[in-house]
Amino acid sequence: MQGVQFDSEIIYVQKLYYFLFLATFTMLTCVIILWCFGLYIGLLFLGGGLVISYIAMFKKKRFTLPEKKATAKRMARSISQDTSPVSIARFACQLYYYFHKPTQAISLLEKFLPSHDPLLCMTLGDILLKEGNANQALYVLRDNPSALIDPLLLTTQGHVLKQIEEIPEAVRMFERSLQIAKQNGFPQNGAHWFTKKLLTLSYTACIHHTLADCYIMLGNLPEAKRHYRAGNWLLFDLSLWRYQPAPNCSERKHLKSR
């Protein structure tokens, strides 16, 4: 995974699946030990194995990706058979994150942008933001008819507004995103139902943490602490927990200017 930097939401899901793999292997081995050595030894092994699995997940930072040539062939076959918005968005993400081809990813998404699909629009806005084109990203996101009703579009707008230091407006976007997601859930992204459940927890935790960062910049420490805590409770992996940071120079400057 060298050189590939995924969002923290995706990393969290990868780490959880890594833990579940190790835990499943531990439990299967435990059954054999229970059969051979009895209950006490089996439970002792199970407890120790789960602790080791958690520590391994806690320390895991990088994941091995498939070989690029095989991935490229699979991508080409998939996009030739399925041109749904989910497939196009996934293809663009692979181009951007895995093959480091931002121009091709952006061109692909822009080609299908007139469909006004929220997932395609959100993916394009996110890539444009990461490429330093915050104003263009905001224009693309706000031009979508679902800009104020899709929780992921709202969240991406919040990230853009935070980047350009429109903090109160960013807070409104994040708060609205949480409210709509709580009522209707996050939209379908083509993932398996279990992966979608994990992504929902991860997305929600990320929004809470980003809201907390915004409230720190606004000088509202009680709200910041509340959102840090709310985000942390959704994350099984303690290495991803967030706490109130010591204010840096830019934050002090922002507070004094208000």
pLDDT digits (tens, 9 = 90+) for 146-196: 999 999 999 999 999 999 999 999 999 999 999 999 998 887 766 778 888
Predicted pLDDT of residue 246: 66
Is 241 within a domain? yes
Is 214 within a domain? yes
Residue ranges making up the domain that contains 31: 8-59
CA distances from 118 to 48, 97, 105, 122, 136 (A): 45, 20, 16, 6, 16
From its phi and psi, is residue 237 left (phi > 0), alpha (psi between -120 and 50) or beta?
Answer: beta
Q: Which pTM does this prediction carry?
A: 0.84
Report helix, strand or coil for 245: coil
User: Are residue 151 and residue 252 in the same domain, yes or no?
Assistant: yes
Higher-confidence residue of 253 and 51: namely 51
CA distances from 172 to 13, 83, 116, 161, 207 (A): 27, 34, 23, 10, 12
Enumerate residues 6+ apart whose C-beta is below 8 A from 129. Answer: 137, 156, 159, 160, 163
CB atoms within 10 A of CB 51: 11
Is 41 within a domain? yes
User: Are residue 176 and residue 53 in the same domain, yes or no?
Assistant: no
Residue 216 scores a pLDDT above 90 = yes
Residue 3 scores a pLDDT above 50 = no
DSSP state of 236: S
Residue 214 scores a pLDDT above 70 = yes
Predicted pLDDT of residue 90: 85
Mean pLDDT of the chain: 87
Is 116 within a domain? no
Q: How many domains does the chain have?
A: 2
Is 76 within a domain? no
Q: How confident is the model at residue 141 (pLDDT cuts 50, 70, 90)?
A: very high
Predicted pLDDT of residue 94: 84
Find the angle CA(198)-CA(110)-CA(106) to the nearest 5 degrees.
65
The amino acid at 44: L
Higher-confidence residue of 4 and 86: namely 86
Which CATH number covers residue 235?
1.25.40.10
Q: How far apart are CA 57 and CA 19, in angstroms?
A: 6
Predicted pLDDT of residue 80: 67
Q: How far apart are CA 134 and CA 127, in angstroms?
A: 10
CA-CA-CA-CA torsion for 243, 247, 249, 252, nearest 10 degrees?
Answer: 130
Predicted pLDDT of residue 75: 72
Q: How confident is the model at residue 66 (pLDDT cuts 50, 70, 90)?
A: low
User: Are residue 34 and residue 156 in the same domain, yes or no?
Assistant: no
Is 95 within a domain? no
Short-list 223, 244, 243, 245, CA closest to 235 = 243
Predicted pLDDT of residue 173: 97
Over residues 56-62, mean pLDDT: 88
Is 233 within a domain? yes
Over residues 16-42, mean pLDDT: 91
Q: How far apart are CA 203 and CA 189, in angstroms?
A: 13
Over residues 193-215, mean pLDDT: 92
User: Are residue 245 and residue 140 in the same domain, yes or no?
Assistant: yes
Is 168 within a domain? yes
